[in-house]
A and B are shown apart, each in its own frame.
Chain A
Amino acid sequence: MASHPQAQAAAGTARGVDEGLDRPSRLERAEPWLFIAPSLILLLAVGLYPILFTAYMSTHNWVLGMGAPTFNGLGNFVDTLSSEEFRASVGRTLLLLAITLPIELALGMALALALNAQHNKVLRTILQVALVVPIAITPAVIGLLVQLMFDNQLGIINYFLSFFGVGQVDWLGTQVLAYTTVCIAQVWEWTPFVALVLSASMATVPPEIEEAAILETDRWWPRFKRVQLPFLWPGITAALVFQTAFVVKQFGMIYAIEKGGPGTATQTAMLHIERTAFRGFDIGVAAAESILMLIVSIVLAQIYIKVFYSEAE
């Protein structure tokens, strides 16, 4: 990938070129749009139009196969917000965030520090490659592996735990433990991502500053806090926001474990809305629910843009 100063220089000159022209002709002003138009049209069609369609549906009473949609204003939103099941499913998504984000950040930081240490070059290289596996592997397959490995009688996890005197744990049979298992799987899947992001931002600490700090103090913590941490904030924030998106969008892994069960123990907002729309065929309510989730994700995207766009410019 491009080195940073070079990319900046290139962007700088590009600016110069365009500002160099006194008065761009109409054709010149149209030029960038000719390059951008195809992607713009495509994304308007598959990204924006469907959202407007869903927003429209959310104000209608419509169960698929039971007559035509009828307008009912904000009725679906009132129903949705007062629905115990929907609120519980949003709560499960938010709890999943609250549990997994700090753990992923802590473990990811530890892995990143290990990756950027001086020792054991070969092991570090192997680790860097291995970290890609959980990120690339199909989430539905992770769910299947969880079913296999966390089985209460025949699973390998309980076999390992038996060495520590832990009896048969019914991981997937009880509500709390099933939810815990989902948390474990989510942490396994996405901690490597946090580690890679943090490791990449650690590499942006200028070596001369680091060397100066080593001369200053040989204690690790003040050095980490004063020298490395300031360079890590963009990476930490990026990791947090992306983890949030991965949690909110998670479907395959949870669905493959137990389709949101036992009962509704692992039914997050995504699974709940999918159920409303494609099992209950209540399109109006499902549309209202997904618009509410869209608002959540727009808020998150705004945070992302606020923090990073200024950073990247």
Chain B
Amino acid sequence: MEKEGLYRTLHALGILFALVVILFPLYWMIAASFKTQDELFSIPPVWLWAPTLDGYRKAITESPILHALFNSVIVTGASVLLGLLVGAPAAYGLSRYRFGLRKHIWFWYVTNWMLVPVVILIPFYLVASKLHMINNLLVLILVYQVFVVPLIVWLMVDQFRSVPIALEEAALLDGLSRFGVFLRISLPLVKPGMAVSAILSGIFAWNNLIYAYILTPSDQARPAPTIALSYLGGYIVPWTKVMASATMICAPVIIGGIIVHKYMARGLTLGAVK
């Protein structure tokens, strides 16, 4: 029994240590966003201070962060919607039919997720330049499909497989077409899984830097992650402003991540863990 108690204490201490390591940077970012530059860089650090919104005020008035967040919402939202629009039927097709190329299509979707971004970035840049579509958000929405569609398809194949086939057969006998069955019977049943895959792929779309950095460099078009980097040029980095922007950029993905935390591992391994 004594040994049991020791285990429990060590286990608790281990977890507490891990929590500090994992969460301290997040705390430091949020804390910095409510400090003044002097408070942020005082040694020893200040642990209690009167919070100021100065960093946020500067970020909002001196940089296009709000507009960039708006761009991010548009790009992420549209990418996920387009991904669902083509991905959900594909997942249904791959889970409900057996046909020769099924495996190959699956393989190919895997490869897309592993793709090194520069391979597609160069042609996208050249074509977009030629069509005068640099700084056009539509280009980002299209290029993000490379990772959004595979992620959605994998997660939803798993979901559709869990829908009882008897339910679909009954609906088919009632005279519903295959597409009708998909739309009216199966899709409503996998709504929770669809939401999870939407949020997961949305996190990746939101966080992307390299595509946005090259394809939408103007202040009008850039999404949020590129903004935080734009303050770094000068001799004195306005750190409180940077951290205020960083907090605003990360808030949506962290909240989204917490909502789907139970499915995170499963989602990211694309069903490898069964």
How many residues of chain B are within 8 Å of chain A by beta carbon? 117
B18, B165, B264, B272: the one within 8 Å of A312 (CB): B272
Q: Are A18 and B161 in contact (CB under 8 A)?
A: no
Please name the residue on chain A nearest to B200 by beta carbon. A136
Q: Are A199 and B145 in contact (CB under 8 A)?
A: no
Q: How far is the CA of A14 from the CA of B93 in the complex (A)?
A: 11
Q: Which residues on the A side are within 8 Å of B171 (C-beta)?
A: none
Q: How far is the CA of A287 from the CA of B123 in the complex (A)?
A: 9
Q: Are A14 and B119 in contact (CB under 8 A)?
A: no
Q: Which residues on the B side are within 8 Å of A43 (C-beta)?
A: 108-109, 112, 145-146, 149-150
**Min CB gap A76→B, angstroms:** 13
**Which label, helix, strand, loop or mixed, suits the secondary structure of the A interface?**
helix
Stretch with Cβ within 8 A of B (4 or more), from A205-213, A222-230, A293-301 = A293-301
**Min CB gap A187→B, angstroms:** 10
Q: Are B161 and A238 in contact (CB under 8 A)?
A: no
B113, B179, B210: the one within 8 Å of A252 (CB): B210
B28, B127, B265: the one within 8 Å of A145 (CB): B28
**Min CB gap B177→A, angstroms:** 10
**Which label, helix, strand, loop or mixed, suits the secondary structure of the B interface?**
helix
A17, A141, A238, A301: the one within 8 Å of B114 (CB): A301
B92, B115, B143: the one within 8 Å of A294 (CB): B115
Q: Does B162 contact A (CB under 8 A)?
A: yes
Q: How far is the CA of A142 from the CA of B253 in the complex (A)?
A: 13
Q: Are B254 and A136 in contact (CB under 8 A)?
A: yes
Q: Range of interface residues on chain A? A: 35 or more
Q: Does B132 contact A (CB under 8 A)?
A: no
Q: Are A141 and B8 in contact (CB under 8 A)?
A: no
**Min CB gap B256→A, angstroms:** 7
Q: Does A53 contact B (CB under 8 A)?
A: yes
Q: Are A130 and B119 in contact (CB under 8 A)?
A: no
Q: Which residues on the A side are within 8 Å of B169 (C-beta)?
A: 17
Q: How far is the CA of A238 from the CA of B222 in the complex (A)?
A: 34
Q: Which residues on the A side are within 8 Å of B112 (C-beta)?
A: 43, 47
Q: Are A252 and B123 in contact (CB under 8 A)?
A: no
Q: Which residues on the B side are within 8 Å of A131 (C-beta)?
A: 22, 261, 264
Q: Which residues on the A side are within 8 Å of B90 (C-beta)?
A: 35-36, 38-40
19 A-B pairs whose Cβ atoms sit less than 8 Å apart in the complex = A14-B95, A29-B99, A35-B93, A38-B86, A43-B145, A47-B146, A50-B120, A50-B124, A114-B15, A120-B12, A123-B15, A131-B22, A133-B257, A136-B207, A141-B250, A159-B45, A193-B268, A277-B125, A308-B272
B44, B122, B146, B249: the one within 8 Å of A283 (CB): B122
Q: Are A54 and B120 in contact (CB under 8 A)?
A: yes
Please name the residue on chain A nearest to B209 by beta carbon. A252
- New contact pairs (11) apart from A54-B119, A149-B25, A287-B122, CB-CB < 8 Å: A35-B92, A35-B93, A39-B86, A40-B105, A57-B122, A130-B19, A135-B268, A136-B207, A140-B207, A154-B43, A188-B21
Q: Are B118 and A312 in contact (CB under 8 A)?
A: no
Q: Which residues on the B side are within 8 Å of A127 (C-beta)?
A: 15, 18-19
Q: How far is the CA of A166 from the CA of B31 in the complex (A)?
A: 25
Please name the residue on chain B nearest to A252 by beta carbon. B209
Q: Does B221 contact A (CB under 8 A)?
A: no
Please name the residue on chain B nearest to A35 by beta carbon. B93
Q: How far is the CA of A311 from the CA of B272 in the complex (A)?
A: 7
Q: Does B107 contact A (CB under 8 A)?
A: yes
Interface string of A148-176 (1 = CB under 8 A from B): 11000010100100000000000000000
Q: Which residues on the A side are within 8 Å of B149 (C-beta)?
A: 39, 42-43
